[in-house]
Structure 1
Amino acid sequence: MQIRWIEDFLTLADAKGFARAAERRHVSQPTFSRHIQSLEEWLGVELIDRRVQGVQLTPSGRIFREFAIDMLRRTYDMRALLRGQTSTAESLVRFSVAHTLSVTFFPRWLNELKGVLGNVLAHVNAVNVPEGARALTEGATDLLLAYHHPQLPVLLDPKRFPHLTLSTDRMVPFSAPLRSGAPKFKLPGQSGSGVPFLSYSSGAYLGQVVEMILLNSGEQLHLVRSFDTHMAEALKAMVLAGHGLGWLPESSAAREVSDGRLVSAGSRRWSCDLEVRLYRLAERGNDMVEQIWELLSGKK
């Protein structure tokens, strides 16, 4: 199998036409078609349903598309990493960062590190918290940046994986405002007219935090789940568009709150504090990892 076959297939799935896809890939249509057929032969399944008009993926094609996207991303990441590995191995730091923190906290924090330590070559992988913890235990990452709540701890042995608390955040329910400035949707809702609830996908750490808040509320809620995603930024976009209420880390909504585009959808009893923690393997890492840890732990 050739990487270009996969690239061709994803282009076809996006363009929804062999002629348009071949043009995007700068090859003739017959050549492009042969590439798709070669990929199907290698996989042993049909990816394109040729019995219908236009380009439609078969069930196997839809499944393979998800694998193909991940395969290409990992291949490109590997190539970029290996190209820089020979001369930068001692300064490269592999970060696994919780999705939301990779957008809100990490860019500013990395600038602060660079301001003290100089250039820090960072390879960043945005992850779900369990995925990041697994990468740390398997040695696939140097530092894990994640949220923490005492009732939902990251399952890492503290003796083998020490941590530092870098900051705090707060999980808050938000809604788009009415013209009056009051929230369009508000907790706990009213019987007979459930509030549209924009939730996180199963397994997402922030989703577990929200479920903990709801279970600990001790009050009957009138919510109707109408959306789920594992990305806080996607959930924020839905809240901003007025589709319902949803919980967001306060830091991720700061600008929208300041602009008056988001307002709190409930009192503080519907919120909870979170720590922002940095984890590492206790065994000595490369020089830059050690410099970062010493700086943050006050030893430098």
Structure 2
Amino acid sequence: MQIRWIEDFLTLADAKGFAKAAERRNVSQPTFSRHIQALEEWLGVELVDRRGARVQLTPSGRIFREFGIDMLRRTYDMRTLLRGQTSTAESLVRFSVAHSLSVTFFPQWLNELRAGLGNVLAHVNAVNVADGARALTEGATDLLLVYHHSQLPVLLDPKRFPHLRLSTERMAPFSAPLPSGAPKFKLPGRPGERLPFLSYSAGTYLGQVVEMILLGAGEPLHLTRSFDTHMAEALKAMVLAGHGLCWLPQNSTTREVKEGRLVAAGPARWSCELEVRLYRLAERGNEMVEKIWEQLGGKW
């Protein structure tokens, strides 16, 4: 199997037509068709249904599409990483960063590191918490930056994976405002007028944090789930557009709150505090990892 066959297949799945996909890939249509056929022969299944005017994926094609996306992403990441194994390898640090923190916390924090240490060459992978923890245990990353709550701990052996507490963050409910400045959607809602709830996808860490808040509320909430995604920034965009309320890390809402485009959707009892933690493997890493740890006050 060749990587370009997978690239061709994903292009076809998006274009839904052989001619358009071949044009995007800058090859002739017969050549493109042979690549797709070769991939199907290698896998032993049909990936596309060619009977209609628009190409449709078969059930096997839909399954392979998800696998192909992940395989290409990992391949590209590997190539980028291997190309970095040069004379700069001693300053290269592989960071796995929770999706939300990669947008809100990490950019400024990296500036602070570089102010003290010079050029820190950062390879950053935005991850969910479980995948980040797995990457750390498998040696695929040097430093893991994630949220932590005592009721939702990251499952890492503290003897093998020490951590530093870098900051705190508060998860709180937000809504777009009415012209009066009051929240358009305000907790807890009413039985006859349930509030549209924009939620994180199942299995995400922030989604688990929100469920913890809801279960510990101590009073009924009148919500109806109307949208879900794993991305906090996508949820914020939906809230700003007035589609409902959601819980967001407060650091991600500073500008919008200051501008009056977001307001609290409920009092402090509907929020909770999280730690921002940095984890590493206990064994000594490369020179730059050690410098970062020492600058942050890490002790052995």
Q: 2:254 — aligned with what? A: 254
Q: Distance in 2 between matches of 1:140 and 1:169?
A: 27
Show structure 1 runs of 5+ residues with no match.
none
Counterpart of 2:25 in structure 1 is 25
User: Could you say which residue in structure 2 is the equivalent of 1:193?
Assistant: 193
The whole-number CA distance in structure 1 between the counterparts of 2:119 and 2:99 is: 23
RMSD: 1.3
Distance in 2 separating the partners of 1:60 and 1:236: 35
Find out whether 1:72 has 2:77 as its counterpart.
no
- The separation in 2 between residues aligned to 1:196 and 1:137, in whole angstroms, is 39
SS of alignment partner, residue 86 of structure 2: helix
Secondary structure of 2:218 counterpart: coil
Q: Which moved more, 1:205-214 or 1:230-239?
A: 230-239
Q: CA deviation at 1:88?
A: 2.7
Deviation per residue, 1:90-146 (Å, 9 max, x gap): 221111100100111111111111111111111111111111112112222111100
TM-score, scaled relative to structure 2 = 0.96
Where does residue 113 of structure 1 map in the other structure? 113
Distance 1:165 1:263 in 2: 28
Do 2:164 and 2:298's aligned partners in 1 also have CA atoms closer than 8 Å? Answer: no
Matching residue of 1:177: 177
2:236 maps to a residue whose letter is: K
- 1:83 paired with 2:88, answer no
How many Å separate the matches in 1 of 2:58 and 2:179? 47
Q: Which residue of the partner structure matches residue 37 of structure 2? A: 37
How far does residue 228 in structure 1 lie from its aligned partner after superposition?
Answer: 1.5
1:93 corresponding residue in structure 2: 93
After superposition, give the CA deviation of every residue in 1:44-91 in whole Å (9 maximum; x if it has no partner). 111111122212111111111111111111111111111121323322
Q: Match for 1:70: what amino acid?
A: D
Corresponding position: 1:228 with 2:228: yes
Which structure 2 residue ranges, 5 or more long, are not aligned?
none
Q: Does 1:284 align with 2:274?
A: no
Provide the TM-score with structure 1 as the length reference. Answer: 0.96
SS at match of 2:57: coil
Deviation at 1:173, TM superposition (A): 0.4
Partner of 1:90, secondary structure, is helix
SS in 2 for 1:273: strand
Q: Is the 8 A contact 2:257 2:263 kept in 1?
A: yes
CA distance in 1, matches of 2:241, 2:43: 42
Amino acid at match of 1:187: L
The number of equivalent residue pairs is 299
Give the match's secondary structure for 2:220: coil
Consecutive aligned runs of 4 or more in structure 1 exceeding 4 Å deviation: none
1:16 aligns with 2:16: yes
